[in-house]
Amino acid sequence: MSRALPDGLHLGRRDRGLIPVIAAVAAIASLALGGWNAARSLSREWRTGAGQQVTIEIPDFTGEAHRKAERLVKVLGADPGVDSISILSEDDLRTVLRPWLGTMQARLSDLPEILTMTRRPGHPRTNLPAVLDTLAPGAIVEENATWGARLSLLGESLQACAWLAVMLAGIATAGVTTLSVRVTLIARRRTIEILHGLGAADSLIARRIAWRSASLGLAGGAIGMVLGYAALAILHRLVLPFLDHQGGEHALWPSGIAEWISALLSIPASLIQSLLGVPVLVALLSFVVAQGTVRLWLRRLP
Amino acid sequence: MIRFRDVSYAHGRARHNARGQPVLHGLSFEIPQGGFYWLTGPSGAGKSSLLRLMHLETLPQSGYAEILGIDIVRAKRNQRAHLRQRIGFVPQDPGLLAELSVFDNVALPLRLAGADRDRIASEAAAVLDWLGLHDKAGVFPDQLSGGERQRVAVARALIVRPALLLADEPTNALAEGQSWQLIEAFATLSRLGTTVIVATHNESLLRGFPMPAIALDRGRQTGNGASASPRRSDPHR
């Protein structure tokens, strides 16, 4: 009922404290959704990307390492189970070694040959040990799949934890909404009894209070979503340097409005969609919980 | 039609008052549609409890109770809510909402019934005018005298043109002249087809308006004029 049709409930005066509480819970839910999204991406990456990579090291004791490496590239490159294989250039190898060996690595002459190979998912696995025994005996193989599977499982566990956090946020929202509605019912008890006596149906009273709860939930959810979104945008910016395809040229904090907007829009679209759903879901949950609470309370009146 | 058969009622979960008896005990009467009835008895007789029961604020624990043709115990909650919209109730405490003006208090039953604004405006103005409250429409209840608040409660009960009007000591806060005017107004309503039941222990009114009465004492019927045909008499005849 609008202001033009007063019913004496005056719900707007007492329950605005619910907004910051719901905002905090919604912000936690938003962060949990961000965590879920990140864990899902990492899990997928570990399972289908990094987990398919193999590193082959051919020690150069006889000066034939490079020739063996080229033979391996030729044979394995033609294998349907191999997506790509390449030899790490000497410059790249020295770049990799520099953090550990410093300037000393420049004096090393007999560096091993390093090959990086990516398996093609969904194809029969190449019998790599057999090929290496034939073409490059003594080569050392590091299969990323051995830790990739474990990391993938870890990622899935993190997803489950994030969902649990979202569920707990939902339960917390339902709890504070119930509490707020009960406080409203106690505060407006006499008014509700009078309205009930004048013939107001349960549905009318419940709907009136539930809409109020839903609007508070929507406001709190929107504030919480904005807070969570901003935090996730900053976290995403911090992660950017570790994503090789996005470069590491960003400063830690955005400077200027344009850079802030760019940072805010850099969040994956799927996550933005999930975050936009937070206020709507909070409002819906508040509406349903308030309806149930009021209808249950009204049962004490005949 | 109101039909009670062996109806008993006790407050809350205790089911018995301090004396170990139900508040209302084995009430049986029939009141046909239309007419004016007194509900009499000393303080604590159960008059208010019986009116609240007829207003569906409580339900009997035993017996059969039918209000305006509906079994109030078996009726669904929505049916009871709809039935309440056909009953005007004037409680001892006027029960006005302090945050609403006199106009909004009086208009409330029509709003709850979903009436449109034009009907609400015209009917509220008419009933306020009829009860001499037309100049109080924008005033809030705490700015009114006790008698004015009582008349606002009456206006709120009448605006829906109730099939049944229940009034619990409606003249308590009124001067004698106003009391007589109010009861005359109720008698007029009864002649128009509304069943009017008024609880009172005002002997002067009972003598001045010799209508049939349901008499109670300690929750039991001690006299029953209700099953007789209602007398549509003019009190000044």
> Per the structure, how many domains does chain A have?
2
In a domain, A54, yes or no: no
Mean pLDDT of B59-67: 92
In a domain, A250, yes or no: yes
Element (H or E) spanning B214, and its range? strand B213-217
Every domain of chain B and the residues it spans: 2-86+162-224
Output the tens digit of pLDDT for each of chain A's 302 residues: 334 445 666 665 666 778 899 999 999 999 999 888 888 887 777 777 777 888 888 887 777 888 888 888 888 888 888 888 888 887 887 777 777 776 666 666 677 888 888 888 777 777 888 888 888 888 888 887 777 777 778 888 888 999 999 999 999 999 999 999 998 898 888 889 999 999 898 998 999 899 999 999 999 999 999 999 988 888 887 776 666 555 556 666 777 788 778 777 878 888 888 899 999 999 999 999 999 999 999 998 88
| Mean pLDDT, all residues of chain B | 86
With an 8 Å Cβ cutoff, are B57 and A191 in contact? no
pLDDT given at position B16: 46
Query: Residue B80: its chain A contacts at CB < 8 A?
Result: 302
* Structure-block tokens of residue A260: 């802030």
Interface A:B, Cβ pairs < 8 A: 59
| Same domain membership, residue A269 and residue A124 | no
pLDDT given at position B22: 78
Are the C-beta atoms of residues B70 and B79 closer than 8 Å to each other?
Answer: yes
Distance CA A59, CA A261 (A): 50
| Same domain membership, residue A127 and residue A154 | no
Nearest to B51 by CA among B212, B150, B169: B169
Please name every residue paired with B194 in a beta bridge, in sequence order, or none if there are none: none
| Same domain membership, residue A259 and residue A205 | yes
Distance CA A240, CA A102 (A): 26
Residue of chain A minimizing CA distance to B97: A8
With an 8 Å Cβ cutoff, are A198 and B108 in contact? yes
Does residue B116 belong to the interface with chain A, where contact is any CB pair within 8 Å? no
Q: Write down which residue in A88, A115, A138 finishes a domain.
A: A138
At residue A132's C-alpha, the angle toward residues A126 and A136, to 5°, is 150
First to last CA, chain B: 27
**Among A198, A201, A302, whose Cβ lies nearest the Cβ of B78?**
A201
Quote the crossing angle between the two packed helices A145-187 and A18-48, to the nearest 10°.
170
Query: Residue B156: its chain A contacts at CB < 8 A?
Result: 198
Q: Write down which residue in A138, A173, A194 finishes a domain.
A: A138
| Same domain membership, residue A264 and residue A128 | no
| Same domain membership, residue A132 and residue A164 | no
With an 8 Å Cβ cutoff, are A302 and B59 in contact? yes
Range of the domain at A78: 60-138
B186-213: per-residue pLDDT in tens? 998 898 889 999 999 888 888 888 889 8
Using the predicted structure, report yes or no on whether residue B235 has a pLDDT greater than 50.
Answer: no
Please state which CATH class domain B2-86+162-224 belongs to. Answer: alpha beta
Distance CA B81, CA B85 (A): 7
B84-94: per-residue pLDDT in tens? 999 999 998 88
In a domain, A233, yes or no: yes
With an 8 Å Cβ cutoff, are B104 and A6 in contact? yes
- Which residues 6+ apart lie within 8 Å of A226 measured at CB? none
| Same domain membership, residue A247 and residue A166 | yes
At residue B63's C-alpha, the angle toward residues B70 and B158, to 5°, is 40
In a domain, A173, yes or no: yes
In a domain, A143, yes or no: no
Model ipTM?
A: 0.85
| Same domain membership, residue A124 and residue A33 | no
| Same domain membership, residue A102 and residue A16 | no
Instruction: Tell whether pTM > 0.80.
Output: no
Does residue B59 belong to the interface with chain A, where contact is any CB pair within 8 Å? yes
B32-57: per-residue pLDDT in tens? 888 899 999 888 888 999 999 999 99
pLDDT given at position A167: 93
**Among A8, A196, A203, whose Cβ lies nearest the Cβ of B100?**
A8
With an 8 Å Cβ cutoff, are A6 and B59 in contact? no
In a domain, A52, yes or no: no
In a domain, A75, yes or no: yes
pLDDT given at position A40: 83
In a domain, A144, yes or no: no
Query: Residue B95: its chain A contacts at CB < 8 A?
Result: 194, 197
User: Phi and psi dihedrals of A83, rounded to 5?
Assistant: -80, -45
Using the predicted structure, report yes or no on whether residue B80 has a pLDDT greater than 70.
Answer: yes
Q: Write down which residue in A138, A164, A193 finishes a domain.
A: A138
Band of residue B229 on the pLDDT scale cut at 50, 70, 90: very low
**Among B97, B104, B112, whose Cβ lies nearest the Cβ of A199?**
B112
| Same domain membership, residue A127 and residue A247 | no
